[in-house]
Amino acid sequence: MMKSSFTMPFAGSDLDECEHKRGQAELEAFLNDDSACAILFDQGRPSLRPTGGLKMVHPKSLVGQNIADPGPLFLGTRDGVPIFAFHIARENDVTEAESFQDMRVVARQLSPTELALAGRAKALLEWHASHTYCAKCSKQSFPQRGGTSRKCPACGTDHFPRVNPVTIMLVINGDQCLLGRGHGWPDKTYSALAGFISPGETIEEGCAREIFEEVGVTVTNQRYVFSQPWPFPSQLMIGLICETTDTELKIDPKEIEDAKWFTREQVEAVFAKRSEVFKRPPRFTIAHQLLRHWLAETD
């Protein structure tokens, strides 16, 4: 079983989101606070210090920079310190040493607290970037409440960030598990099967449908294990373990490239770095944690 101290990557934020302190005057006070700090992003990539960790600057140092919508994104406070995120154009670097890195690279380097902070900021910034215009009347909308919503001035519609639910499931048959790979993935890369939940479905129904569509296997006994916020761009990965008596696979090539059964011994060897029968999913993914959970369950 998972250790009680375990924090799922991208989860575990310790921020006070200050839900009731997001008026214009309050936001201005947070921006001007001497202790305020901000994470910088360029095209979804956070800036890191040369020595590692998120690079933090005071919001005042960004005056005159090319700041993209939504402007100052107020993430909340930590121990009373206001924390913001800004999307800036990289050609207008705050310093020549600025280093923007892909979030998947960053995920391997940051502490759990920093990763949760960067993940929340990335998800919100990308939502703003893709929701500049009102979905109801098509007029330009504008950020509100420090970036936690948008409002259309033409029709008055309020828009709020979307989180898309995705089932990600480890299919078990006796002492083996089923893993698949998407088109174009690196050689030997396999992961748990996954898919978006459709309107009108329960989590269990979405799990069963996706598995049957991808590999032609019927599953039962779907059980929830844990979940993970996944900022690529803004999903909630709902981790399940389910069972099947089917062993023959009918892979739909439109859905996935390949799928294979792996024995517990094979998975253990991969996680112990004694085998390369498939590439172990990165530690910051929920697929990695599902496999680790299954191994611990079957010890």
* Single pTM value for the model: 0.93
Per-residue pLDDT of the chain (299 residues; tens, 9 = 90+): 455 568 899 999 999 999 999 999 999 999 999 999 999 999 899 999 988 899 999 999 998 888 999 999 999 999 999 999 999 876 545 544 458 999 999 899 899 999 999 999 999 999 999 999 999 999 999 999 999 999 999 999 999 999 999 999 999 999 999 999 999 999 999 999 999 999 999 999 999 999 999 999 999 999 999 999 999 999 999 999 999 999 999 999 999 999 999 999 999 999 999 999 999 999 999 999 999 999 998 66
Looking at residue 15, its pLDDT comes to: 96
The β-bridge partners of 193 are 169
